[in-house]
Every structure is written in structure tokens, then in C-alpha cells.
């Protein structure tokens, strides 16, 4: 949450109920459906089952099967029909049960949802929010842990949002639903129930494209998003304890659009940076960040920016995933290396 928003919300937050990310997203969906008749939701197991993670719990009962419904098991079908619904004036919120299965719908996302505006010369748009759980660390089967933001940032026409807290999730989801273009909204599985946070009952909007400064600092900037924000915080704390270094942590929150101003301002100030993500390193957001830093603050840069990421191998088997994912240990090591003169 940005500082400005924080001040505005302070009063409300004091009395707000504490929610998990699942509950916060459920609340956002409920509010969007209440205020806008055009909003419909569908996917696999989102109806009576309330989603395999219960994110859509109770919504079919509340809004009826016309607006909240299960579909056949076909991701391309889910996204392809959502594209049609968006063109016909609805505001679909399709769910892909796990982000890795977006590969099956890749074409409908990257060449269809993303291209409706282009193909129609702006006569039609494709406002929709594709929700998908993503991320590792919970010992799932194959293709359940993939981070896909690195793919969709290479296929322009799609926005990509990744919240790292219940509060952000609710506000960013409201912005995504209001957005006139397709948004991929990635929900970190490990964070779904990992902690609660005060979340206002009413609707609020956190604009897309604004990073959040989680912790200010002067010696080094750490960039992260989703579950990696917490990993960055743990690492920063341990380094601070060890060395007293003042570490700035920035939660990117939105990959497209990316808040480059905040990134550049931070590194211009600190001169050192580490970027952390779960996705493979090669061509991941970390690479893009280094490129942005290189272009805009090379002369402020005291040390190479280090990338702490998933490795460039297929996502490993459940019991071998722990060291594939960035750990506080690995991030702390990178911070220490980068702090060295």
C-alpha cells in the first residue's frame, strides 16, 4: 500500500476485519458483482465447490448460476468465450485453476484477448480479468507452481498484476475489473492463507502501475513481488541485524504497467540493487529490471545488480523445490555480496 493511501485508510483500517488473501479476494469479487451487473465469473470448480482454494466460496449461491458458473475442463474455451463475452459488453472474470495451465490457453490470451483492440482498430476492447493462482513452495504436482508473468510481458496487450498482501489484493482487483483492457491477476498460492491483515469491508481501488515502498532504506534496493516480498523482508532483516545496512524494499505489485519511476528513483538513491522472483532467470522480470536500471541509473550503480530467481530449469519435483525457489538465505547472500565494496 502506498503511503498516501495508507494515511487515507488509517481510520478505516483500525476497525477493519482481519482477512486472509483468499477472503480479501472473495470480498473484492463480491463487491464488483454487486456494483456491476456485467461482471460474470466462470472456470473449473468455481461454482458449488467455491474454487479449489475457496476463493469464490459462496458467490454462486449469492449471485446465482447465471453469473457464477462452472465450465467444461478447457482453458482455451474458458478464455476464448471470455473474449467473446467482453466484446459483447460483459465484464468476465474467468479463472484458470493454476497459472501453469494458462499455457493451454496461451493463444487465446496472447493473440486474442491481447489483440482485440489492435485487430478492430480500437472499435472493440477486451476488458476482462483472468484470475490464476501461481507460485511454488507448497509441494504441488507438475505445472501447479509456475510463475507466468515473464511470458505475458513478452506478449504486449495484457496487463499483469501480482499482489503481495490481502489489502493490496482487494484494492488491485477492483482496479483490474475497472480497467478497459485485459488483466492477468496472479494470486500467490503460498500466501493465500499465510497471514491475515485488516482489510476494509467496503470497496477501494489501488491504481495499477504503482509500486509500494515496503521499507525505506539508503544502502541497497531490493525489488520483489508476490511471495518474494516476504522473502526479501526476512533477508533484509537478517542482513540489517548482521551489518546494520539500511535496505529499501520495493513491492512492484504490477508488472505491466511497471512503475519504472519508483525503481529508478530508488536505485539512483541507493546505488545497489537485488531483484528477486520465482520465475526462471533468463528473460524474467529481473532481466528487465536490470536493463531499466542500466539505462537510467548506470552512473549511480556501485555494484552489479544481482538476480535471485528460480533457475533456468523446468520447475522441479515437489521435494526438490525448496532450493529452487529464492530463500531468505540466498537473498541475504546476494544482498551481502552487493553491499561489499
Partner 1 sequence: MELATLNNLERTDKPYQILDLEGQLVSDAPTIAPTQLVAMHRWMWLTRMFSDKIVALQRQGRATTFGPLNGQEASAVGIAAPLLTQDWLGGSYREVGSYMVKGIAPRAFIHGLRGYPLNELYSPEAHCLPFQIVIATQMLHIVGIAMAEKIKGSDAIAVGVCGDGASSEGDFNEALNFAGVFKAPAVLVVVNNGWAISVPRRLQSAAPTFAARGVGFGMPGVLVDGNDVLAVYKTMSEAAARARAGDGPTLVECITYRTGAHTTADDPTRYVPREDVEYWKERDPLVRFRRYLFDRQLLDESGEKEMVAGIEAEINEAVQADEAETLPAADAVFDYAFQELTPRLERQRGEMRREIEAIEQQRLERGTH
Ligand X SMILES: Cc1ncc(C[n+]2csc(CCOP(=O)(O)OP(=O)(O)O)c2C)c(N)n1
Active site amino acids: 144
309, 277 Cβ separation under 8 angstroms: yes
134 is an interface residue for partner 1 by CB under 8 A: no
Confirm if 134 and 188 have CB atoms less than 8 A apart.
yes
Please report whether residue 153 would count as binding a copy of itself according to CB under 8 A.
yes
Spatial contact of 304 and 267, defined as CB atoms under 8 Å apart: no
- 3-state percent breakdown (helix, strand, coil) of the chain, nearest 5: 40, 20, 40
Residue 165 is a binding residue for partner 1 (CB under 8 A)? no
Does 120 contact a copy of itself by CB under 8 A?
no
Nearer to ligand X, 100 or 217 (CB): 100
Mode of pairing for the β-strands spanning 247-251 and 212-215: antiparallel
Q: Is 73 in the site for ligand X (CB under 6 A)?
A: yes
Q: Which stretch binds a copy of itself (CB under 8 A): 48-56, 78-86, 233-241, 282-290?
A: 282-290
Q: Are 157 and 121 in contact (CB under 8 A)?
A: no
Interior/surface letters 88-118, b for 16+ CB within 10 angstroms, e for the rest: eebbbbbbbbbbbbbebbbebbbebbbbbbe
95 is an interface residue for ligand X by CB under 6 A:
no
CB 147 within 8 A of CB 100: no
Residues 72-111 that bind a copy of itself (CB under 8 A): 100, 103-104, 106-107, 110-111
Q: Does 40 bind partner 1 (CB under 8 A)?
A: yes
Residue 201 as a binder of a copy of itself (CB under 8 A): the answer is no
Site string for ligand X, 25-54 (x = CB under 6 A): -------------------x----------
Residues 235-294 that bind partner 1 (CB under 8 A): 256-258, 260-261, 281-282
Three-state SS at 328: helix
Beta bridge pairs of residue 185:
131, 161
Binding mask 312-331 for a copy of itself (x = CB under 8 A): xxx-xx--------------
Q: Which does 124 bind (CB under 5 to 8 A by kind): a copy of itself, partner 1, ligand X, none?
A: partner 1
- Let me know: does 164 contact 251? Beta carbons within 8 Å: yes
279, 325, 331, 332: residue in contact with a copy of itself (rule CB under 8 A)? 279
* Contact of 110 with 179, CB cutoff 8 Å: no
**CA dist., res. 172 & res. 158, Å (int):** 15
Closest CA to 171 of 139, 138, 152, 198: 198
Minimum gap (Å) between residue 314 Cβ and ligand X: 16
Q: Rounded distance, CA 190 to CA 3, Å?
A: 26
Residues 184-213 that bind ligand X (CB under 6 A): none
Residues that bind a copy of itself (CB under 8 A): 100, 103-104, 106-107, 110-111, 114-115, 118-119, 142-143, 150-151, 153-157, 256, 258, 279-280, 282-288, 290-291, 293-296, 298, 301, 303-307, 311-314, 316-317
Amino acid at each position: 500500500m502506498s503511503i498516501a493511501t495508507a494515511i487515507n485508510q488509517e481510520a478505516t483500517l483500525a476497525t477493519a476485519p482481519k482477512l486472509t488473501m483468499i477472503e480479501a479476494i472473495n470480498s473484492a469479487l463480491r463487491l464488483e458483482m454487486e456494483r456491476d451487473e456485467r461482471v460474470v465469473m466462470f472456470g473449473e470448480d468455481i461454482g458449488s465447490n467455491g474454487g479449489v482454494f475457496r476463493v469464490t466460496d459462496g458467490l454462486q449461491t449469492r449471485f446465482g448460476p447465471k453469473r457464477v458458473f462452472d465450465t467444461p475442463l478447457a482453458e482455451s474455451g474458458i478464455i476464448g468465450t471470455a473474449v467473446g463475452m467482453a466484446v459483447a459488453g460483459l465484464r468476465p472474470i474467468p479463472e484458470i485453476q493454476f497459472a501453469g495451465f494458462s499455457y493451454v490457453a496461451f493463444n487465446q490470451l496472447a493473440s486474442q484477448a491481447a489483440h482485440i483492440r489492435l485487430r478492430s482498430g480500437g472499435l472493440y476492447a477486451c476488458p476482462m480479468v483472468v484470475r490464476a493462482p501461481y507460485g511454488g513452495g507448497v509441494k504441488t504436482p507438475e505445472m501447479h507452481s509456475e510463475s507466468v508473468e515473464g511470458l505475458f510481458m513478452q506478449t504486449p496487450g495484457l496487463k499483469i498484476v501480482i499482489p503481495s498482501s490481502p489489502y493490496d489484493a482487494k484494492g488491485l482487483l477492483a482496479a483490474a475489473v475497472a480497467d478497459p483492457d485485459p488483466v492477468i491477476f496472479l494470486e500467490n498460492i503460498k500466501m493465500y492463507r499465510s497471514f491475515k491483515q485488516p482489510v476494509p469491508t467496503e470497496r477501494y481501488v489501488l491504481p495499477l502501475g504503482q509500486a509500494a515502498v515496503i521499507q525505506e532504506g539508503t544502502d541497497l534496493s531490493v525489488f520483489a513481488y508476490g511471495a518474494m516480498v516476504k522473502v526479501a523482508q526476512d533477508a533484509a532483516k537478517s542482513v540489517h541485524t548482521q551489518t546494520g545496512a539500511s535496505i529499501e524494499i520495493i513491492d512492484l505489485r504490477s508488472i505491466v504497467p511497471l512503475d519504472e519511476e519508483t525503481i529508478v528513483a530508488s536505485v539512483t538513491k541507493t546505488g545497489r540493487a537485488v531483484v528477486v522472483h520465482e520465475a526462471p532467470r533468463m528473460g524474467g522480470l529481473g532481466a528487465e529490471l536490470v536493463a531499466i536500471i542500466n539505462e537510467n541509473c548506470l552512473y549511480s550503480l556501485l555494484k552489479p545488480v544481482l538476480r535471485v530467481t528460480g533457475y533456468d530449469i523446468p520447475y522441479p519435483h515437489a521435494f526438490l523445490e525448496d532450493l529452487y525457489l529464492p530463500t531468505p538465505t540466498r537473498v541475504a547472500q546476494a544482498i551481502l555480496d552487493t553491499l561489499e565494496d
